[in-house]
Structure 1
Amino acid sequence: MPASLRNLRHATLNIEDGIAEFTHQRPEARNALSMELRDDYADLLDTVERDRSIRVLIVTGSGGSFCAGGDLKSMTGARERPETGAPEAIRRRVLQAHGWMQRLRNLELPVIAAVDGAAVGAGFSLALAADFVLASSRAFFCMSFAKVGLVPDLGAAWLLPRVIGMSAAKELVLTARKLGAEEAQQLGIVHAIHAPETLADDARAFAQRFVAAPREALGLGKRLLNQSFETPYASLAELECAAQAVASSVPFHAQAIEAFLEGRPPLYDWERQPRA
């Protein structure tokens, strides 16, 4: 399919060969999460959820930074105005962000965060919402909220302990210290580390390996896992039964069974595909 490039407010969205690549485009501000960039995320999700040809999403940043967190300059200006600085207005603004953040986390296809440079505050939260974090060797992560007297937001208090455990999550939140790519990999946050100059290409090569995957099976399997910690076994079994009924009814399943019976290679085989 032909490539498609959209210039959004503070991001770009490129769609090519089944891969959607969403790039933060505020390098002068280390890609801080402006209100415009938040709106771009909502537009991104509208597109990806609607376009069934998209099989995988890459989220990344420009100019050597992933996302430096909330835009403190615009946040300060908003707090100085009565209509946007009141506690209830702040609550509504944060709650609105959770609308698209939950959609990003539950997106029924693989989401890859390609992190170069800073993933700080809300930028760290965005990385945690991905299924795979590929980091450059100069990437660093920081739950920086305490440094400016705030609590973790964009779901970080929910996401972080599920990835690294409660004790380690408390340590990162309460100290607000930085951790580099290697420590983040040891904690289970980072899937793989790449050279800064090859990260973008490596992320696309990694994403390409999902293009042949069964979208429905991966999406439904991901949703089951996302709900597994809070859902009783019996309830999750019901969800599993419904998901299996859907997955077994799509053409991919019948084609995969036919290939197996005829001795042909699997339609989707991660171990046989070229690695990034």
Structure 2
Amino acid sequence: MESPLGFRRVTGERSAMNDAVLFEKVGKTAVITLNRPQKKNALDQAICQALPEVLRAARTDRTVRSVVLTGAGGAFCSGFDLDGSVSSDEPVFAGREAVLDFHRWLRELQELEKPVIAAVDGAAAGAGFSLALMADFVFVTPKARLQSSFLCLGLVPDLSLLHWLPRLIGLSRAKEILFSARPVGAEEALELGLAQVQVPAEQLVERALEYARQFDDAPLQALGLVKTLLNRSFESDRETMTQFEAMAQSLCVGSRYNSEAVRRFRDKEGLLYRGTARFMS
């Protein structure tokens, strides 16, 4: 079924289409594929129009328990499409307006209260680097290259790269990577903690789906609260986090999931959710 905003829901085997974004449900996982391989999935107008609707579909579908985000054609995302036009009544403000427009759909991804796995093959450059870091977990292939290429064009990193990168790897390492504008390969990404596992390219989505399936029976609301509170922990002091924690726990204690999980535990029937296995390369 095709959306008027440019993404298509597909079932079974994925095929080459001209749609900007593909949305496929595999079990309880939504697979979202950027589908502009001829431009290494650069963020053009079509992708940016389709992504918000795709992400809302993943958020509102209660049968979706996890998301895999990937790119078609051996690349994840090469950043903003420099061939696209950015129009504004005030040209000097065009860049600001474009970045703020990006953030309106990026927030849908960042605040999605479901596990998100970025499956990265090839280039994740510029805004594509930022996009990969919005995921909770990053799977890479040996060909993956994470690169902040903004300074090469006389630009500053955007899409929250300046926010997330130093929090993930520390300030001095973030400065070195951003100032040098050099690519970070798969092995270094693993060493820095920017990626969790390296897998062969032909197994990338399969392995991401395999990991995602472990969340099928997870407590959806509780996991979503954990993700939301963790994302705010860097900007909150301990007492504020304690209050958030107490309110979230109150909601969870009153949930049907908690009631059934406690009953099963007491009756020795086994846990509803046993957690996930460690990443295996």
Q: Which amino acid aligns with 1:244?
A: Q
Q: Distance in 2 between matches of 1:72 and 1:147?
A: 13
Residue 56 of structure 1: aligned partner? 66
Q: Distance in 2 between matches of 1:259 and 1:253?
A: 10
Do 1:116 and 1:135's aligned partners in 2 also have CA atoms closer than 8 Å? yes
Do 1:84 and 1:90's aligned partners in 2 also have CA atoms closer than 8 Å? no
Residue 67 of structure 1: aligned partner? 77
TM-score (norm 2): 0.90
Residue 26 of structure 1: aligned partner? 36
Q: What CA deviation, in whole Å up to 9, does each residue of 1:221-243 have, x standing for no partner?
A: 01111111111222111111111
Query: Is residue 218 of structure 1 aligned with residue 223 of structure 2?
Result: yes
Give the Å deviation of 1:85.
6.8
Q: Which amino acid aligns with 1:257?
A: V
Cα distance change of structure 1 residues 175 and 85 upon mapping to structure 2, 3 Å threshold? farther
Query: 5 Å matches for 1:1-276?
Result: 5=10, 9-74=19-84, 77-78=85-86, 83=88, 86-270=91-275
Q: Secondary structure at the match of 1:234?
A: helix
Q: Which runs of 5+ in 1 are unaligned?
A: none
Q: Which amino acid aligns with 2:191?
A: Q
Do 1:108 and 1:222's aligned partners in 2 also have CA atoms closer than 8 Å? yes
Do 2:18 and 2:35's aligned partners in 1 also have CA atoms closer than 8 Å? no
Q: Which runs of 5+ in 2 are unaligned?
A: 1-8, 12-16
Q: Which amino acid aligns with 2:169?
A: I
Give the Å deviation of 1:182.
0.6
Give the Å deviation of 1:272.
6.8
Q: Secondary structure at the match of 1:21?
A: strand
Q: Distance in 2 between matches of 1:59 and 1:41?
A: 11
Structure 1 vs Structure 2: percent identity of aligned residues? 38
Q: Distance in 1 between matches of 2:279 and 2:138?
A: 19
Q: Secondary structure at the match of 2:268?
A: coil
Q: Distance in 2 between matches of 1:14 and 1:236?
A: 36
Q: Which amino acid aligns with 1:71?
A: D
CA RMSD of aligned residues (A): 2.0
Do 1:9 and 1:40's aligned partners in 2 also have CA atoms closer than 8 Å? no
